[in-house]
Amino acid sequence: MRPYAFAGGTAVVTGAGSGIGEALTYGLAERGSHLVLVDQHADRLDRVRTVVLERHPEVRVTTVVADLSDHDATVALGTRLAAEHPGTTLLVNNAGVALAGDLAELELAELEWLLEVNLRAVVSLTHGLLPVLLANPGSHLVVVSSIFGIFAMPGQVPYVTAKFGVRGFAEALRHELAGRVGVTVVHPGGVATRIATDARAAARMDQAMFVRARERLGPLLSISPEDAAGAILRGVAARRPRVLIGWVSARVPDLLVRALPGSYARVLRLFAGSRFDLRNRR
């Protein structure tokens, strides 16, 4: 396929109110894309919209407040976006949530909440908008997974399950859509976004342990959202099938998992020490 053309197309971005989604929004506007921004926080969307219009008054910006944990509402949103924005040429499934705790500490409803946002919403919105993407030659789809969609972290079973899931979804869909719609799956490493500070603790998780886990995670998040967004947009432009963000936090673990698929956890523990298990049970 030819390089993706940003100018004049419409990009739908979920999780656009902060972090990578916000940085992607600014980068897309600079490249001439019209925008449909989805987030559950109206105040964040209003702020981002104001910034875009101040910088790029020629860009059309639509904001949609949506709770992607509501399955029926998300399915309806996909149908609505397809009907109201038939010029959509780029869908960026970026929204995500985090949940700390071992599986035994989780209520099933908590696990389902995370899977709804991080996995099922990706599938639902993609399914809803796919006819529009197919109808617009040169379209592209982005699915933001995680480095935890490549290797599995203790205490993150729901998150890992969702991120491995969206990785498989995107890769299979890439083969189905070959030559018609481009597909990029993104694996961010340590990007400094709100997902850690906004994370929930499992119902039966010790709160002191949860606080320690968040504190230990902070120093590992050293990549700016702007740098992450730049890497993603370059990947989209080049139709790259996969974008890894972060040498130490993404590329090195990826190589390690490829080399030692059954025993990489031992090496990661030696390399990262107790940071491999952010809960620090000791």
Answer yes or no: is 69 within a domain. yes
| Lowest mean per-residue pLDDT among 30-39, 70-79, 191-200 | 191-200
| Lowest mean per-residue pLDDT among 65-69, 190-194, 242-246, 259-263 | 190-194
Answer yes or no: is 227 within a domain. yes
Question: Buried (b) or exposed (e) across 28-48, using 16+ Cβ within 10 A?
Answer: bbebebbbbbbbbeeebbeeb
Judge whether 26 counts as a catalytic residue: no
Please count the structural domains in the chain: 1
Residue 77 belongs to what H/E stretch? helix 71-84
Answer yes or no: is 1 within a domain. no
Q: Given this model, what pLDDT does residue 248 score?
A: 82
Answer yes or no: is 72 within a domain. yes
Q: Given this model, what pLDDT does residue 268 score?
A: 74
CATH at 252? 3.40.50.720
Catalytic: which of 4, 26, 159, 264? Answer: 159
Answer yes or no: is 35 within a domain. yes
Answer yes or no: is 29 within a domain. yes
Answer yes or no: is 281 within a domain. no
The yes-or-no verdict on residue 43 having pLDDT over 90 is: yes
The yes-or-no verdict on residue 117 having pLDDT over 60 is: yes
What are the contacts of 256-265 at 24+ separation with CB within 8 A?
Answer: 256/151, 257/150, 257/151, 264/151, 265/151, 265/152
Query: What residue numbers bound the domain in which 152 lies?
Result: 10-276
Q: Which position has the token pair 């969307």? A: 45
CA distance 70 to 206: 28
Model confidence over 207-237: pLDDT tens digits? 656 555 555 555 566 689 999 999 999 999 9
Model confidence over 187-203: pLDDT tens digits? 998 776 766 667 676 66
What's the pTM?
Answer: 0.91
